[in-house]
Amino acid sequence: MLGLQTQRVLQRRMDVAANNLANVSTSGFKADTLLLEEADRTAAHADADPREIRFVRDIGIMHGMDQGPIAMTGNPLDVAIEGDGFFMVEGVGGETQYTRDGAFSLAGDGRLVTSDGRAVLDSGGASIVLDPQGESPVIGRDGVIRVAGVEAGRIGVVGFAAPGALSKVGDNLWDAQGQQPGAFEGVVVQGALEGSNVRPVLELTRLIEISRAYASASRIVSGADDLRKTAIERLGR
């Protein structure tokens, strides 16, 4: 039981670390860490020290919200957030969701969209529409978009009191989980993208550590199975 529980937790840790590594080049991605807690006291014990056997279980995922590196791209529709905050975008069902990925572009109808085609919303929750044939937009540090000196919209950027409590919903999007968005206190940087905050060397080290621990747990489980098999054979004889 102890070996199987250890394997299960290690598998979850491995999945989280592998997902972090898979997103090392994803703009605005935030690394995750598995949260563990000691299980309630159990009756498990051993004849030899340590006499008490303790179990841990995973209770959720913690999101690391520290700033990723900002790289200049020169693309006028690339936008990075410096500081705490999220861009407002339209979700699958039309609801407002949030992202840190500012790799925007213009759709054929002039809508400002994310890299996977979701509409970028303004501060009022409406789609932002620009003239596809117009001059290159100038985006201010407050998210205001100007074309030929005329304000054409404002990218919706909001902050949250507890950004780490937001929930990832896939496609680099976040759900507010009932939190009300507040004022944005950072700045918007045009012609730049925020990189992932994943630290590849750290994640690779974790994967090696987890793999070794998993192999050790597998040997424990295999050894227990062999002992059980031997005991059954002897009892049968």
Tell me the pLDDT tens digit for each residue of 15-63: 999 999 999 999 999 999 988 776 665 555 555 555 555 666 667 889 9
Tell me the pLDDT tens digit for each residue of 155-199: 999 999 999 999 999 899 999 999 999 999 899 999 999 999 999
Verify that 169 and 190 share a domain, yes or no: yes
Verify that 82 and 39 share a domain, yes or no: no
Verify cis geometry, omega within 30 degrees of 0, for the bond prior to 76. Answer: no
Verify that 46 and 97 share a domain, yes or no: no
* Confidence band of 231 (pLDDT split at 50, 70, 90): low
Cβ(99)–Cβ(106) below 8 Å: no
Q: Is the pLDDT of residue 235 over 80?
A: no
pLDDT of residue 135: 87
Verify that 82 and 190 share a domain, yes or no: yes
104 alpha-carbon distance from chain centroid: 19
Verify that 151 and 54 share a domain, yes or no: no
Verify that 52 and 140 share a domain, yes or no: no
Quickly list H helices, 82-199.
Answer: none
CA dihedral (6, 10, 11, 13) positive or negative = positive
Verify that 187 and 208 share a domain, yes or no: no
Q: Which residues lie across from 89 on neighbouring strands? A: 97, 120
pLDDT of residue 8: 80
Verify that 130 and 153 share a domain, yes or no: yes
Verify that 52 and 92 share a domain, yes or no: no
Residue bearing tokens 């085609």: 117
Verify that 53 and 109 share a domain, yes or no: no
Strand 157-158, strand 105-106: pairing: unpaired
Write phi, then psi, for 213 (nearest 5 degrees).
Answer: -65, -35
Cβ(22)–Cβ(200) below 8 Å: no
Verify that 109 and 145 share a domain, yes or no: yes
pLDDT of residue 205: 92
Tell me the pLDDT tens digit for each residue of 213-230: 767 766 665 666 656 667
Q: Is the pLDDT of residue 76 over 60?
A: yes
Q: In what order do the strands lie in the sheet with 167-170?
A: 157-158, 86-90, 96-99, 173-175, 167-170
Verify that 17 and 107 share a domain, yes or no: no
Tell me the pLDDT tens digit for each residue of 201-211: 999 998 898 88
By residue count, the chain amounts to: 237
Residue 17 structural domain = 2-65+198-236
Task: Count structural domains, the chain.
Answer: 2
Once rounded to an integer, what is the mean pLDDT over residues 137-143?
Answer: 95
Q: Is the pLDDT of residue 3 over 60?
A: no
